[in-house]
Amino acid sequence: MVEKPAALRMVNIEKYFGLVHALRNINIEVGSNEIVGLIGDNGAGKSTLVKILTGVYPPSSGEFYIAGRKVNPRTYSVKRAHQYGIETVYQDKSLGEKQALWRNFFIGRQITYPFGFINVKKEKEIAQEIMLNTIGFRGRGITVNSKVNKLSGGERQGVAIGRAMHFEAELIVLDEPTVALSLKEVRKVLNFVHKIKEGGKACVYITHDMQDVYEVSDRFIIMDRGEVVASITKADISLKALDEFLLGYSQGLKDKELS
Ligand SMILES: Nc1ncnc2c1ncn2[C@@H]1O[C@H](COP(=O)(O)OP(=O)(O)OP(=O)(O)O)[C@@H](O)[C@H]1O
Ligand SMILES: [Mg+2]
């Protein structure tokens, strides 16, 4: 079997916002079926890194590769990132509020008859299939006709992830998807990440919740003030040790160790 190329590889990525040096010499890889927890204190550069990956900002310099293909920063965009198989799930912002659930699955990728009308029946069938088999919503009042604004935060996350999985996203980015969710909803999001793993895809999971990120990740990439300071596989660190490692950075203790 031919080994699949890494879902993402960044080489010497730098990002400046004016004089702010937000990312310094970023060299990372995310395997084709790897769940990477991207962690670090506020302002470490996590969101900036994923915004470069998802086509929101171009890097100031450096190169990156998606599934082995080199990205051209001049033509890269959010839309192009979708074409490359990258989906991003943000808290609450990723779904059209007043739409029925089934419509939401097909924004920008309608199934049409040859003469151009939307094939509503087909779209509803597929939405139903995704809800049952990919997301695992069974009963409890949610149907394909439910309005998105009636869903809980966790259910919205589920729909967004279900969409990402159905359209065979190769790499799903979750930037603090569980902020303000109830424990039960957080559990669902974590289960979805397990499904990404089982589905053979990759994920970058950003959160400040160490217990959550520890559960779902294969490896942790730790950032501090714009730099990647460590990459640690789960087998090599306990949750407690990871917590203490991070705390060391947030309290500036690592600086003292170095001097
Ligand atoms: N659009 C922007 N313009 C100027 N500076 C920015 C911009 N976006 C981010 N920054 C700066 O870049 C640095 C990294 O920010 P980023 O949002 O990537 O951090 P983060 O690791 O996601 O933090 P958090 O955990 O708080 O979300 C910060 O110093 C931030 O102020
Ligand atoms: Mg952030």
Asked whether 60 lines ligand 1 (CB < 6 A), one says no
- The residue nearest atom 25 of ligand 1, judged by CA position, is 42
More confident residue, 120 or 254: 120
Asked if residue 157 and residue 136 are part of one domain, the reply reads no
**Cα 222 to averaged position of ligand 1 atoms, centre (Å):** 15
Asked whether 146 lines ligand 1 (CB < 6 A), one says no
Last-in-domain residue among 115, 146, 177: 146
Dump the DSSP string for 13-25: EEEEETTEEEEEE
Task: Report residue 165's pLDDT band, with 50, 70 and 90 as the boundaries.
Answer: confident
More confident residue, 50 or 141: 50
**Cα 21 to averaged position of ligand 1 atoms, centre (Å):** 10
Once rounded to an integer, what is the mean pLDDT over residues 118-146?
Answer: 81
Task: Report residue 157's pLDDT band, with 50, 70 and 90 as the boundaries.
Answer: confident
**Cα 40 to averaged position of ligand 1 atoms, centre (Å):** 12
Residue 36 has pLDDT above 80, yes or no: yes
Asked if residue 245 and residue 161 are part of one domain, the reply reads yes
Query: What is the pLDDT, as a whole number, of residue 217?
Result: 98
Looking up residue 177, the CATH number of its domain turns out to be 3.40.50.300
| Sign of the CA dihedral with 71 first, then 40, 93, and 211 last | positive
Pocket test for ligand 1, best of 14, 16, 20, 246 (most atoms within 8 A of CB): 20
Asked if residue 243 and residue 176 are part of one domain, the reply reads yes
Query: What is the pLDDT, as a whole number, of residue 179?
Result: 79
Q: Which atom of ligand 1 is nearest to the CA of 51?
A: 18
Among 12-26, 106-120, 166-180, the range with the most confident prediction by mean pLDDT is 12-26
Lowest mean pLDDT among 70-84, 175-189, 228-242: 175-189
Asked if residue 140 and residue 158 are part of one domain, the reply reads no
Asked if residue 142 and residue 170 are part of one domain, the reply reads no
Residue 5 buriedness (CB in 10 A; 0-12 / 13-18 / 19+): middle
Amino acid code (one letter) for 70: K
Percent of the chain, pLDDT > 70? 91
More confident residue, 2 or 117: 117
Asked if residue 159 and residue 67 are part of one domain, the reply reads yes
Query: What is the pLDDT, as a whole number, of residue 108?
Result: 65
Long-range pairs of 190-199 with CB within 8 A, sequence gap ≥ 24: 190/215, 190/216, 191/136, 192/135, 192/157, 192/158, 192/161, 193/35, 195/134, 195/161, 195/165, 196/35, 196/161, 196/165, 196/172, 197/33, 197/35, 199/165
- The residue nearest atom 11 of ligand 1, judged by CA position, is 22
**Cα 90 to averaged position of ligand 2 atoms, centre (Å):** 11
Q: Which of 149, 157, 155 lies closest to 173 in space, CA to CA? A: 157
Determine phi and psi for 4, rounding to 5 degrees.
Answer: -70, 145
Asked whether 19 lines ligand 1 (CB < 6 A), one says no
Pocket test for ligand 1, best of 19, 47, 228 (most atoms within 8 A of CB): 47
Asked if residue 248 and residue 121 are part of one domain, the reply reads no
Whole-number average pLDDT of the chain = 87
Asked whether 55 lines ligand 1 (CB < 6 A), one says no
Query: What is the pLDDT, as a whole number, of residue 147?
Result: 85
Asked if residue 184 and residue 213 are part of one domain, the reply reads yes
Among 10-19, 95-104, 125-134, 139-148, the range with the most confident prediction by mean pLDDT is 10-19
Asked if residue 247 and residue 155 are part of one domain, the reply reads yes
Q: Which atom of ligand 1 is nearest to the CA of 208?
A: 25
Query: What is the pLDDT, as a whole number, of residue 101?
Result: 82
Query: What is the pLDDT, as a whole number, of residue 23?
Result: 98
**21 in any annotated domain:** yes
How many structural domains are present in the chain? 2
Query: What is the pLDDT, as a whole number, of residue 50?
Result: 94
Asked if residue 199 and residue 137 are part of one domain, the reply reads no
User: Is 179 within 8 Å of 172 (Cβ atoms)?
Assistant: no
Q: Which atom of ligand 1 is nearest to the CA of 40?
A: 21
**1 in any annotated domain:** no
Give the pair of three-digit tokens for residue 255: 């600086």
Q: What is the Cα–Cα distance from 204 to 208, expressed in whole angstroms?
A: 13
Once rounded to an integer, what is the mean pLDDT over residues 237-258?
Answer: 82
Give the pair of three-digit tokens for residue 43: 């302002």
Asked if residue 139 and residue 52 are part of one domain, the reply reads no
**161 in any annotated domain:** yes
Asked if residue 236 and residue 123 are part of one domain, the reply reads no
Query: What is the pLDDT, as a whole number, of residue 1?
Result: 64
Residue-number span of the structural domain to which 106 is assigned: 99-146
| Sign of the CA dihedral with 208 first, then 220, 166, and 192 last | negative
- The residue nearest atom 17 of ligand 1, judged by CA position, is 47
Give the pair of three-digit tokens for residue 181: 């969710």
Task: Report residue 155's pLDDT band, with 50, 70 and 90 as the boundaries.
Answer: confident
Element (H, E) at 90: strand 86-90
Query: What is the pLDDT, as a whole number, of residue 254?
Result: 67
